[in-house]
Amino acid sequence: MKVTAVLLAAGHGTRMKSDLPKVLHPLCGKPMLWHVMEALKPATTEKPVVVVGHGAEEVIKDLGESADCVLQEPQLGTGHAALQAESLLRGNTDYVIVTYSDMPLLRGETFKQLVETQYLNPGPLSLLTVVADDPRGFGRIVRKADGTVEAIVEEYVATPEQREIKELNVGAYCFKADWLWDALHRIERNPKKGEYYLTDVVELAVRDDLPVQAVVLDDFMETIGINTRVHLSEAEAALRMRINREHMLNGVSMMDPDSTYIDVGIKIGMDTTLMPNTYLHGNTMIGERNVIGPNTIIRNSSIGNDCKILASVLEGALLEDDVDMGPFARLRKGAHLKSHVHMGNFGEVKDSILHEGVKMGHFSYIGNANVGARTNIGAGTITANYDGEKKNPTEIGEDAFIGSDTMLVAPLKLGAGARTGAGAIVTKNVPEDTLVVGMPARAIRKVERKSKK
Ligand code: UD1
Ligand code: CA
């Protein structure tokens, strides 16, 4: 049985007041559209089809190979949008799920339930509904006296009595494919708005005496649709809580889940504790028994086990086990801290490896360096790695001792066991087990001035 999803994403999203297409606005690190596609995966067997229109280029680029796209131009309503998938899908799928791309909280389980309901339905379609006090502009589900679904009435054409109906159209449908294409050709332009409404196919089925099934959701949260940035923030808060709950149920402690911000898809090991104001973003992996935060931002980084990261910012970094850092440490792209490294306050590391047991307690910048095991980096040590044109490397051997306020002018090599005195300005390689000191600044030559203009 082939089941294919058709996602409608051609609308303008005018109410977002944005240059970015609505479906590309992110929630917990991924675009709205991505969330809907993920939820559809367990319920479908084929590659999804996305109907694009406004901002088509950007949406297609973002989707890459993950979906087939069809263009809806001009945008004449949701029924017209669904019809654009016919050329790709007619004869190629048994069932079609049509859903809107602005409903990112719908779960995989829910779509599965919808498809399973339709498998058992002798009629041509099943749809999702929800019972809620706040109608949020959704279409109302009109039922016959015998309880079966009769029609979906959009809010602005609903009679006052229909407006009181608490059962709402969520915007996800599963159709028998062949029936759908014919029905979409039969729907007529809505006289008031001049659009073809997908919701009108319900009446077509009812008119032909074909049963329409409804799956009634009880979790209103799942049906939050996004039309404005207020909705976007509500949906993100709900999604964040869903993500945090799952981590907690898997053994992660959070002192205050309301102020813990974790992107979708991040793995966190058991017995790790996240303190308030912790942000975990992008492609990040966290091991077991770590204590992270408060006030920590980690992006695209990998953390081993048993680390302590206090009030620090990490981006593109790799930490092995039992690393202790912060407060106020910063790791940038390519920082690799091996096990038992200690990094204290106001240090910055970029494109460098700090081998096992390196200590870098205070106020240092280490860039493009390879620092041997157990070496001590004194307060105020700087790798002067940039000569105005390129980045130059610094190599420091094992068990070295870099005195406070040392300037390491790269390219430079310090052998194992080397020592530098406080305030040393090191411009030449230092052999193993050798102490160097001094070198006050003095004029050596004229330089060419580079104008910024
Ligand atoms: C729609 C439903 C309504 C339902 C609500 C739930 C219709 C007529 N109404 O209303 O019953 O309660 O969703 O969220 O279907 N789109 C296109 N091409 C178009 C028009 C829209 O691709 O020509 C896309 C939009 O990008 C959006 C989706 O279809 O992702 C829904 O459109 P929208 O205008 O948001 O419909 P609602 O007014 O919310
Ligand atoms: Ca909508």
Ligand nearest to the CA of 14: 1
Q: Is the Cβ–Cβ distance between 164 and 186 less than 8 Å?
A: no
> Mean per-residue pLDDT for 306-325?
98
* Euclidean distance between CA atoms 414 and 410, whole angstroms: 11
> Mean per-residue pLDDT for 417-445?
87
Nearest atom (ligand 1) to Cα of 10? 22
CB of 215 shorter than 6 A to ligand 1: no
Tell me phi and psi for residue 146, to 5 degrees.
Answer: -80, 5
Q: How far is the CA of 2 from the centre of ligand 2 (A)?
A: 27
> Mean per-residue pLDDT for 435-452?
74
The residue contributing the CA closest to ligand 1 atom 8 is 197
* Euclidean distance between CA atoms 109 and 125, whole angstroms: 18
pLDDT at 124 exceeding the cut of 70: yes
Q: How far is the CA of 252 from the centre of ligand 1 (A)?
A: 38
Strand partners, 262: 280
CB of 126 shorter than 6 A to ligand 1: no
pTM for this prediction? 0.92
As a whole number of Å, the end-to-end CA separation of the chain is: 66
Q: How far is the CA of 100 from the centre of ligand 1 (A)?
A: 6
* Euclidean distance between CA atoms 436 and 433, whole angstroms: 10
* Sign of the alpha-carbon torsion through 339, 393, 385, 282: negative
Task: List, for residues 143-173, the tens digit of each pLDDT value.
Answer: 999 999 999 999 989 999 999 999 999 999 9
Q: What is the pLDDT of residue 192?
A: 86
Q: How far is the CA of 226 from the centre of ligand 2 (A)?
A: 6
CB of 173 shorter than 6 A to ligand 1: no
The residue contributing the CA closest to ligand 1 atom 5 is 138
Task: List, for residues 27-49, the tens digit of each pLDDT value.
Answer: 999 999 999 999 999 999 999 99
CB of 228 shorter than 6 A to ligand 1: no
The residue contributing the CA closest to ligand 1 atom 10 is 138
* Sign of the alpha-carbon torsion through 149, 105, 159, 74: negative
Ligand nearest to the CA of 127: 1
Task: List, for residues 208-234, the tens digit of each pLDDT value.
Answer: 999 999 999 988 899 999 999 999 999
365, HSE (Cβ side, Cα atoms, 13 Å)? 10
Q: What is the pLDDT of residue 211?
A: 96
Q: What percent of the chain has pLDDT over 90?
A: 92
The three-state DSSP-derived secondary structure of 326-390 is CCCCEECCCEEECCCCEEEEEEEEECEEECCCCEEEEEEEEECEEECCCCEECCCCEEECECCCC
> Mean per-residue pLDDT for 334-359?
98
* Euclidean distance between CA atoms 128 and 121, whole angstroms: 14
pLDDT at 76 exceeding the cut of 70: yes
* Euclidean distance between CA atoms 21 and 12, whole angstroms: 7
* Euclidean distance between CA atoms 227 and 22, whole angstroms: 8
Question: Which residue carries 């305030």 as its tokens?
Answer: 423
Q: Which of 135, 134, 129 is nearest to 151 (CA)?
A: 129
CB of 51 shorter than 6 A to ligand 1: yes
> Mean per-residue pLDDT for 96-103?
97
Strand partners, 309: 292, 325
Q: What is the pLDDT of residue 1?
A: 94
Question: Which residue carries 């679904």 as its tokens?
Answer: 149
Would strands 291-292 and 308-309 be described as parallel, antiparallel, or unpaired?
parallel
> Mean per-residue pLDDT for 46-54?
97
Residue 336 bears catalytic tag: no
Q: Is the Cβ–Cβ distance between 366 and 377 less than 8 Å?
A: yes
> Mean per-residue pLDDT for 278-307?
98
Distances 346 to 41, 356, 364 between C-alpha atoms, Å: 45, 20, 7
Q: What is the pLDDT of residue 439?
A: 75
Mutate to test the pocket of ligand 1, among 50, 73, 78, 220 (most ligand atoms within 8 A of CB): 78
Tell me phi and psi for residue 331, to 5 degrees.
Answer: -110, 130
User: How many other CB atoms sit within 10 Å of the CB of residue 120?
Assistant: 8
Residue 184 — pLDDT band, cuts 50, 70, 90?
A: very high
Q: Which segments of 132-190 are extended strands (E)?
A: 140-143, 149-153, 167-176
> Mean per-residue pLDDT for 320-332?
98
CB of 198 shorter than 6 A to ligand 1: yes
Average pLDDT of every residue of the chain: 96
> Mean per-residue pLDDT for 390-400?
97
Take residue 332 and report the two structure tokens written for it.
């940038």
CB of 100 shorter than 6 A to ligand 1: yes
In one-letter notation, the amino acid at residue 409 is V
